Structure 1
Amino acid sequence: MLKFLRNERLPLHLMLLPSLAILAVYSYWPMAGIVIAFEKYIPTKGIFGSPWVGWRNFEYLFNLPDTKRVFVNTLLIASMKIIAGLIVPIFVALLLNEVRKTMFKRTFQTLVYLPHFLSWVILGGILIDLLSPSNGLVNQTLGIFGVQPIFFLGDNNWFRFILVSSDVWKEFGFSTIVYLAALTGINPTLYEAASIDGANRIRQMWHVTLPGIMPIAILMVTLSIGNVLNAGFDQIFNLYSPPVYESGDIIDTLVYRLGILQSQYGLATAVGLLKSTVSLIMIACSYFMAYRFANYRIF
Structure 2
Amino acid sequence: MKSHAEAPINRKPDISRKANKKNLWKRIWEHRIFYLFLLPGVIWFFIFSYIPMYGITIAFKDFNFAQGIFGSPWAGLKYFKQFFDYYQSGEIIRNTLIISLLKLIIGFPMPIILALMLNEIRFPKFKKTVQTISYLPHFISWVVVVTLMQRMFTPYGGPVNEIIAALGFDKVQILGNIKYFYQLIILSDIWKGVGWGAIIYLAGISGIDPQLYEAAKMDGANRFRQMWHVTLPSIRGIMVILFILACGGIMSVGYEQLLLLNTPSTASIGTVLDVYVIKAGLEQGRFSYAAAVGLFQGLVGMILIITANQISRKVNETSLW
* Shorter-normalised TM range: 0.7 to 0.9
Q: Does 1:71 align with 2:93?
A: yes
Q: How far is 1:252 from its partner?
A: 1.0
Q: Paired residue for 1:121?
A: 143
Letter of the 1:68 partner, please give it: G
C-alpha distance in 2, partners of 1:216/1:30? 31
Q: Deviations over 1:203-237 (max 9, x none)?
A: 33333333333332222212211111121112222
Letter of the 2:246 partner, please give it: S
Structure 1 residues 269-288: aligned runs within 5 Å:
269-288=291-310
Corresponding residue to 1:55 among 77, 87, 90: 77
Letter of the 2:318 partner, please give it: N
Q: Higher relative CO (CA 8 A, sep ≥ 6), structure 1 or 2?
A: 1
Q: How far is 1:162 from its partner?
A: 1.0
Q: Paired residue for 1:268?
A: 290
Q: Paired residue for 1:203?
A: 225
Q: How far is 1:181 from its partner?
A: 2.4
Structure 1 residues 186-201: aligned runs within 5 Å:
186-201=208-223
Classify 1:243/1:17 alpha carbon distance in 2 versus 1 (closer, same or farther; 3 Å): same
**How well do the aligned residues superpose, as a CA RMSD in angstroms?**
2.7
Instruction: Say if 1:215 and 1:294, in contact at 8 Å, map to a contact too.
Output: no
Letter of the 1:245 partner, please give it: A
Classify 1:102/1:110 alpha carbon distance in 2 versus 1 (closer, same or farther; 3 Å): same
C-alpha distance in 2, partners of 1:76/1:205? 32
Larger Rg: 2
Structure 1 residues 7-46: aligned runs within 5 Å:
19-46=41-68
Q: Does 1:214 align with 2:223?
A: no
Classify 1:27/1:220 alpha carbon distance in 2 versus 1 (closer, same or farther; 3 Å): closer
Q: Deviations over 1:90-117 (max 9, x none)?
A: 2222222222111111111111111112
Classify 1:212/1:26 alpha carbon distance in 2 versus 1 (closer, same or farther; 3 Å): closer
Q: Paired residue for 2:26?
A: none
Secondary structure (helix, strand or coil) at the match of 2:180 reads helix
Letter of the 2:93 partner, please give it: F
Q: How far is 1:183 from its partner?
A: 2.4
Structure 1 residues 105-254: aligned runs within 5 Å:
105-254=127-276
Instruction: Say if 1:93 and 1:179, in contact at 8 Å, map to a contact too.
Output: yes
Structure 1 residue runs without a partner (length 5+): 1-6
Is 288-297 or 172-181 further displaced after alignment? 288-297
Q: Does 1:295 align with 2:294?
A: no
Letter of the 1:150 partner, please give it: V
Aligned length: 292
Q: How far is 1:62 from its partner?
A: 0.7
Letter of the 1:295 partner, please give it: T
TM-score, length basis structure 1: 0.85
Question: Identity rate of aligned residues, in percent?
Answer: 38
Structure 2 residue runs without a partner (length 5+): 1-28
Classify 1:196/1:13 alpha carbon distance in 2 versus 1 (closer, same or farther; 3 Å): closer
